[in-house]
Amino acid sequence: MSEVVTVAGVSVEPGTRRDIAPSASESFTGDRTTLPLAVINGIEDGPRVFITGAVHGDELNGIPICRQVLDRLDPSTLRGSVIVVPIVNVLGVQIGSRYLPDRRDLNRSFPGSHTGSMAARIARLLLEEVIIGSDVGIDLHTAANHRTNVPQIRIATDDDVSLGLATTFGAPFVLDAKLRPGSLRETAGARGVPVLTYEAGGPLRFDDDAIDTGVRGVFRVLRSLDAIDDAPAPAHDQPMILHESRWLRAERGGILELHVGPGDHVQPGQPLWTTSSALGAERASIEAEEEAYVIGSTTLPLVQPGQALLHLALPGDRLPSEDDPTEEEDEDDPDEPHVP
Ligand SMILES: [Zn+2]
């Protein structure tokens, strides 16, 4: 028999689900803003897993993933407990923004504090009520503005537990990604809670492939942890482990024609993109310097010099690059200067 799980002062008995809405913030008129979450406490002992969506308020694919997981999880057969928070950044989602109304990035605001900024308070609430006490977390993101990501899990691949779960998840790619200060993943990891960051699709839309791969992945992780008996087949049988990545940037402004897309395996000398003027004159034609996988791309057809166009990664090797390879990581603030 499992134990009672208590979240935000609410006790959840074994074999039951409780939906809870602790206060996260308050409007200027005094209206309460909540952090809606569901606690599914299984009938038997097992791991505690948390699943978070929309930490960035314009990254929506995690919301339907969480809802589908909630639809199918049955507390009468679950071993352990699952805490699902479909929308962490409620205020950002309301205004379609990555950021909170105080212009802070919630995923740079952990561990947070009860007396700090709006972002710090929400981060602290999530840390204390959801993250601490969990065994594993899955944090659901998408690419930032005007970009899209192939479904991929980002972890520190030198952590065997994370690597095993990331491979089980079944996204096409697993990317070794440095921990960013103040991120949910970094803060949880420092407290012994490994977190898989799932990056899939683009902002402000629901992407069916990203959602399906994510739902399968969540259930496959739960099965791997022995919380449930059965899980769907993986979206991809053998995820490619990628150890280094970088964004390729436009050298010339113009109208963009991409010759490759997300998920493509490119070979040295393969055309990547052409930019041309409004009257059709070709300005730049770029080829791949080496074999790589396209794990993300711009969605904009018009480009300026310096704009990031393709996110390329190599399996098991390092790409020569002057850029910080994670500078453009979509867990990050795309406008933020390099943070060492
Ligand atoms: Zn994000």
User: 241 alpha carbon to ligand 1 midpoint, in Å?
Assistant: 21
pLDDT at 333 over 90: no
pLDDT at 311 over 50: yes
Q: How confident is the model at residue 27 (pLDDT cuts 50, 70, 90)?
A: confident
Q: With beta carbons less than 8 A apart as the criterion, state whether 303 and 309 touch.
A: yes
What is the overall mean pLDDT for the chain?
92
pLDDT at 89 over 50: yes
Q: With beta carbons less than 8 A apart as the criterion, state whether 314 and 242 touch.
A: yes
pLDDT at 337 over 70: no
User: 286 alpha carbon to ligand 1 midpoint, in Å?
Assistant: 29
% residues pLDDT > 70 (the chain): 93
Q: How confident is the model at residue 328 (pLDDT cuts 50, 70, 90)?
A: very low
- Classify 314 as helix, strand or coil: strand
pLDDT the model gives residue 28? 85
226 phi-psi bin (left φ>0, alpha ψ -120 to 50, beta other): left
User: 143 alpha carbon to ligand 1 midpoint, in Å?
Assistant: 7
User: 140 alpha carbon to ligand 1 midpoint, in Å?
Assistant: 8
Domains observed in the chain: 5-224 (3.40.630.10), 243-315 (2.40.50.100)
pLDDT the model gives residue 2? 82
Q: With beta carbons less than 8 A apart as the criterion, state whether 85 and 35 touch.
A: yes
Closest CA to 41 of 72, 11, 71, 86: 11
Tell me the ipTM for this assembly. 0.99
Q: How confident is the model at residue 316 (pLDDT cuts 50, 70, 90)?
A: low
Q: How far apart are CA 142 and CA 65, in angstroms?
A: 12
User: 47 alpha carbon to ligand 1 midpoint, in Å?
Assistant: 26
Q: How confident is the model at residue 292 (pLDDT cuts 50, 70, 90)?
A: very high
Q: Can you tell me the mean pLDDT for 170-177?
A: 95
Q: Which residue has the higher pLDDT, 337 or 144?
A: 144
User: 142 alpha carbon to ligand 1 midpoint, in Å?
Assistant: 6
pLDDT the model gives residue 315? 76
Q: With beta carbons less than 8 A apart as the criterion, state whether 268 and 288 touch.
A: yes
Q: How far apart are the first and last CA of the chain?
A: 47
Q: How far apart are CA 294 and CA 301, in angstroms?
A: 17
User: 170 alpha carbon to ligand 1 midpoint, in Å?
Assistant: 20
Cis bond leading into 111, ω under 30°?
yes
Q: Can you tell me the mean pLDDT for 62-68?
A: 98
User: 272 alpha carbon to ligand 1 midpoint, in Å?
Assistant: 26
pLDDT the model gives residue 285? 94
